[in-house]
Chain A
């Protein structure tokens, strides 16, 4: 099946710094990518949807200036957490889909810890 690779799997950063998470589709063209956030023992919460070459659409309550999403190519989307704070510590997951697919393919997730 299709593969989505997310990197890094774990990252620890200091408060006030920025962290970039990459999401790559390895064997298909991802026209749409989704970014989720998941707190412990909670479900995935959609943060934003990005279509290749367009600005991301953010869900209500998600700060677009804090969570910068770039989807410049059909195989790569990035999420940058800017000026990170401890409350940004969470598990971030991306998924990608092609127009021809009726399912989404998920990355392995990134555990972000802000100290």
Chain B
């Protein structure tokens, strides 16, 4: 399984754009990159998923360089409610052990 490395924590202010980068140097050809958000005492919530280049949805963008050894989650104009732990995961549905969680990044949005 591809191991992921993320910053342990990040602080930001309301209204700013936040970029969280994840390293996954040994990503496999069939692996997708998925980001989840987790609030305390809740299950992780899907944010975005991509395979290569750029993916955008209503809440975030995901940038993946050509070598796919890293990815960057971009959250535009964060608010206090975006304070959460963000996990980057690499895997494929074909694997029985699809998702191995790394340490995640604790994002704290300040007023």
A-side interface residues toward B, CB under 8 Å? 1, 4, 6, 32, 34, 36, 43-46, 49, 51, 57, 91, 93-95, 97-109, 111
Contacts and interface: CB of A to CB of B under 8 A. Distances in A.
Interface string B83-111: 00001000011101111111110000000
Contacts of B104: 43
B96 A49 contact: yes
B51 to A, nearest CB: 9
B42 interface: yes
A49 B94 CA distance: 13
A111 B42 CA distance: 9
B52 to A, nearest CB: 13
Contact of B99 (A4, A46, A57, A111): A46
Given A43-B103, A102-B32, A102-B93, A109 B98 contact: no
Contact of B34 (A45, A91, A103, A107): A103
Contacts of A91: 41
Interface of B: 32, 34, 36, 41-46, 49, 87, 92-94, 96-104
Contacts of A105: 46
A44 B97 contact: no
B98 A104 contact: yes
Contacts of B92: 102
Given A43-B101, A102-B49, A103-B49, A57 B41 contact: no
A106 B96 contact: no
A58 to B, nearest CB: 11
Given A102-B32, A107-B43, A108-B43, A51 B96 contact: yes
B42 A97 contact: no
Contacts of A43: 87, 101-104
Nearest to A40: B40
A6 B103 CA distance: 24
